[in-house]
Structure 1
Amino acid sequence: MSADELFLGSAAGNATYREALDRAADAVVEQFAAADRPYSGERPEALAARLEQPVLPESGIGLRAAIDEVASEILPHSVGTSNPRCAAHLQCPPMIPGLAAEALLTATNQSLDSFDQAPAATVLEGRVVDALCDLFGYPDAADGVFTSGGTQSNFQALLLARDRHCQETFGTDVQASGLPVEAGSLRVLCSEAAHFTAKQAAHHLGLGEDAVVTVETDDRRRLDPAALDARLDALEAAGAEPFALVGTAGTTDFGSIDPLPALADRAAEHDLWFHVDAAYGGALALTDDHAAELEGVDRADSVAVDFHKLFYQPISCGALLLRDGGDFEWMARNAAYLNPAAHDETGVPNLVSKSVQTTRRFDALKPYVAFRAVGRDRLGDLVAGTLDLAAETAALLEAADDFELVTDPTLNAVVFRYRPEGGMADERVDALNAAVRRRVLEDGRAVVARTEVDGVTSLKVTLLNPTATLDDVAAMLDVVRDCGADLRDGPEVSA
């Protein structure tokens, strides 16, 4: 291929681009979206055998052939995220407005680390952030930045919390001088059901995972305020220095939402940075009937929200919002070639000082196009419909003799166990459900997840897909039954 054919801007390049996108779109529709099963069932070793061709050949095979190769060898063996019987993880079916935006942002290749690399994108990200701050009830002083998702957002929130606390309590500028000698006493509190990224962030921040103090949950898997009070009293008695409290609006397994107003009260009383991980449940803010579940989120110092979950955008796409945008000062810096101090003085917006990334994608375009195309009311209806389906699924499981509902769903994650015999011991149930989950994936007619609850392996469906119906759920449960019937008396499930 000539240089002109490889890049946009010439007649030859523009024509190649159109043809390549048409061919890629046909491949997606024919080899991925039209598949009747959410997974082919192919095992890792078989996939490896399919992909033995050289990654970097001496001479290329041509763009058409390369796309066709992906169409035949990769797309048919990808998990069908748009299939209504793909319900394992918080991995949404991406809506078409977001897919269109993805094509636009990749072709323009804007980088959000300086205004002169992304002028319109820089301004638009600010507009989208402002709209999100309004959605979550934040004041005019709020600000935010797009991230790769909840992991990055949670990390950055705790980074800001740590550095603010060290400056205000110990007089240490961590950005300049590193951690103070008192850092060993720093503690983060969160629910025992909180996402693992709280501990991961503590590790990456030099505090160690032991700096994270987990708090017991109530019977709805929410952080228990009374247990939090006891933990705070114990930390004070031990001379520890708690600096952040993480509330969760949508735990991964159960969708549980911590009592955010009570947590906000404790954070204010103990001068803690209050961060809410709303990566999963943040989309409730779009709905009429469920937005009240997020009461208290407007009091958080920071909020993590993911668009590649219940906002239905392609991976990756998230945001970190700050109630006081001035708190970005704890990580701000100027680089002469990107955002010199003179730019700050003349009002040139450069977002690099608000991010832990330098080069950064124009991911804000995806929710922007979706919001503009679909609107808040319809987006809220899509989210609410999946919550209704989860409630219907729970009722279906409760009515079945061979399934056990672990807990009522809060959002659209439903945890259950296949228990075909009433008196079946937990040890056998554990082994059976672990074996069933493996067999279901190999079968390919459904994709469900596994987790562990009270020491017993359980199954989970995360019903993010607005096109899914109760018939789809019933079909998934029948696949579990089929696979379970083959396994219940086999060697994988010992008596």
Structure 2
Amino acid sequence: MNNQVLLEAPDIDSLQELFDGDFYKDIFHENSEEEYSKAIQIARECISRFLKNNKTPFSGIKPADLLSVFKTIDFNTPLENYKSLFEEIETLYVNHATAFHLPNYIAHLNCPVVIPALAAEVLISAINSSQDTYDQSAGGTFMERKLIDWTANQIGFDSNCDGIFNAGGSQSNLMGLLLARDYYSLEHLKHNIKIDGNPPESSRFRIFVSEKSHFSNLKNASLMGLGEQAVIKVKTDSQFRMNLKSLERAITNEIELGNIPIAIIGTAGTTDFGNLDPLNDLGKIANHYNLWYHIDAAYGCGLLLTDTYRHLLNGIELADSVTVDYHKSFFQPISSSAFIVRNKYHLNIIKHHADYLNPNDQDYDELPAQINKSITQSTRRFDALKLWCTLRLLGKEKLGQYTEVIIDTAKKTALFLDTQDDFELLNHSDLGALVFRYLPKNEQNYDSCAMNQYIKKTLFFTGEVLIASTKVEDKFFLKFTILNPLTTINHTKNILKKIKNHGQEYLQSI
């Protein structure tokens, strides 16, 4: 029967001849340049309209209204051409996309992006290299490695370092915590977690973080089978930096309880407050107790670019591993992040060989493979090209100047808030995150949390200004995340005026 099937199977060459030349025009190849150029041109025009038409960071559309339009889409009926395609995309997405580049967007850690990186995106998507092995990326391998070396040098690591680009800070933090766990197990318990799973002692492993550290630390501990109970949250000081005495007490307390400290995670730029833990002192404590020291610099990595504020990162060179998010503080498009280790041999802990991809007997000095350093991505975009183009065209100094402008604006805004009787400011930021609330002194009998929630929601659905929020001791606060050098003190003063106006609206309505 198999032979009969083979004899009756259609001849591939004959099958291809049934289609005319236009049949393959949608596949990116040497004969589709005209179609590609047409598509890119229409996409470019769409982007131009996005820049030209957006005067506020958000359209204000309600989720229910947007969802009703999506219900009309039928994937079984293709659109006629690129013009109709991008008209649909504008209706569903572009017209309501958040405009991070506008000065009145000061909500989350989304930076405006630089044009050299956008140009790189065109190459990345079209050529479509994968960074896992040399035979899929060639020069891309060495571009990524050189950028890792450059970043590590800015951190203060020597030539023994290594690292890899990945999707974001949460993934890098996972890598740091995984190496901390597995290194401790190998070094002190002679137990290989990669092969044998968590040892019985792992239920007593403890990781120490600031109470204001990123949520990914808890999530990663859970994913690794340690449970959130393994993460010990350490109290912070008045400026929301990890308190050193509280850390020492927490470590000794866990030891007395029979638990096993394995790591300290320092935060170089908390999401809410933009402040850095005392990195140098944390490094000394980690060394004293022989603990893995990971620094989450996803937000604060932009300080590497500036001479004026670089000292805030003093001690980062003591870390065993570091998280860097270029798409937060290097003005790169999402996604562009890296995980850096001081000792490249620690990455051998996560290496796994597959005969079809990175066989054990391959000479990796001759044919390097970045997949040896990755834990969750085999196929991986060439995101490093965006940073390469940025540094080669703009240089570190100009990026650093952007960072200095941002910090300067945040400082001026904080000083202005301090002078306002109707605002309560919780922090002065090392970076650009300010937590505050509208709290009119001459008013009585109002719910401050409800009022500030009303302010944020009203601003969002008018689309005029996008700000963030958080809770501190169960009280609702507003938050500025200034990450755009185009945002000035005049913008922030104007936003505060709008906040005050909406606050007064609320008071008049109750």
State the TM-score bracket (shorter-chain normalisation).
over 0.9
State the distance in 2 between where 1:490 and 1:100 align. Answer: 50
1:297 alignment counterpart? 316
Distance 2:312 2:226 in 1: 32
Q: Gapped runs of 5+ residues in structure 2?
A: 1-20
**8 Å contact kept, 1:31–1:72:** no
Residues 88-487 of structure 1 aligned to structure 2 (within 5 Å): 88-344=107-363, 347-356=366-375, 357-422=377-442, 424=444, 428-487=447-506
Q: Distance in 2 between matches of 1:61 and 1:53?
A: 17
**1:446-469: CA deviations, max 9, x gaps?**
000011123211111111111111
TM-score w.r.t. structure 2 length?
0.93
Describe the superposition over 1:64-110 as per-residue Cα deviations: whole angstroms up to 9, x where unpaired.
21112112331110111111101100011111111111111111111
The one-letter code matched in structure 2 to 1:184 is S
Q: CA deviation at 1:423?
A: 5.9
Quote the Cα distance in structure 2 between the aligned partners of 1:95 and 1:488.
42
Query: Do the aligned residues in 2 keep the contact of 1:33 with 1:80 (CA within 8 Å)?
Result: no
Asked if structure 1 preserves the Cα contact closer than 8 Å seen for 2:424 and 2:439, the reply is yes
**Whole-Å Cα distance in 2 between the matches of residues 2 and 293 of structure 1?**
59
| 2:433 maps to amino acid | A
Are the aligned partners of 1:404 and 1:416 in contact in 2 as well (CA < 8 Å)?
Answer: yes
**What amino acid does structure 2 have at the position aligned with 1:358?**
S
Tell me the TM-score normalized by structure 1.
0.96
Instruction: Tell me the amino acid that sits aligned with residue 220 of structure 1.
Output: Q
How many pairs align?
A: 489
Matched, 1:40 2:59: yes
1 CA distance for matches of 2:132 and 2:52?
35
For 1:477, give the aligned amino acid: L
Structure 2 counterpart of 1:428, one-letter code: D
> 1:30 aligns to what?
49
Looking at CA atoms only, which structure, 1 or 2, has the larger radius of gyration? 2
Aligned residues of 2:42 and 2:82 also touching (Cα < 8 A): no
CA distance in 1, matches of 2:364, 2:118: 38
Q: CA deviation at 1:424?
A: 4.8
Q: Distance in 2 between matches of 1:162 and 1:4?
A: 51
Q: Which residue of 1 aligns with 2:68?
A: 49
CA distance in 1, matches of 2:495, 2:479: 11
What is the CA–CA distance in structure 1 between the aligned matches of 2:136 and 2:72, rounded to whole Å? 37
Structure 1 segments unaligned to the other structure (5+ residues): none
Report the Cα offset of residue 429 of structure 1.
Answer: 1.1
- Percent of matched pairs sharing the same residue: 34
- Do the aligned partners of 2:269 and 2:431 also contact (CA within 8 Å) in 1? yes
Comparing 481-490 with 108-117, greater Cα deviation is found at: 481-490
Q: After alignment, is 66-75 or 350-359 more displaced? A: 66-75
Q: Give the whole-Å Cα distance in 1 for the aligned partners of 2:47 and 2:464.
A: 19
CA contact (8 A) 1:33 1:83 kept: no
The separation in 2 between residues aligned to 1:443 and 1:400, in whole angstroms, is: 25
Quote the offset at 1:310 in angstroms.
1.2
**How far 1:346 sits from its partner (Å)?**
5.5
2:16 match: none
Provide, for residues 116-156 of structure 1, a one-character-per-residue CA deviation record: whole Å limited to 9, x for no partner.
Answer: 11111111111111111111110110000001111000001
The residue that corresponds to 1:5 in the other structure is 25
Alignment root-mean-square deviation, CA:
1.5
Taking the aligned partners of 1:328 and 1:158, their CA distance within structure 2 comes to: 12
Tell me by how many angstroms 1:34 deviates.
3.7
Question: How far apart in 2 are the matches of 1:193 and 1:177?
Answer: 34
| CA distance in 2 between partners of 1:172 and 1:404 (Å) | 52
Tell which deviates more after alignment, 228-237 or 62-71.
Answer: 62-71
Q: Secondary structure at the match of 1:448?
A: strand
Q: In structure 1, what is the equivalent of residue 4 of structure 2? A: none
Cα deviation code 1:134-193 (max 9, x no counterpart) = 111101100000011110000011111111111112111111110111111101101001
1:19 aligns with 2:57: no
Equivalent position of 2:18 in the other structure: none
How far apart, in 2, do the equivalents of 1:214 and 1:347 lie?
Answer: 45
Cα separation, 1, equivalents of 2:74 and 2:357: 35
Secondary structure of 1:341's aligned partner = coil
Q: Secondary structure at the match of 1:112?
A: coil
Deviation at 1:420, TM superposition (A): 2.3
Q: State the alpha-carbon separation in 1 of the partners of residues 485 and 160 from structure 2.
A: 35
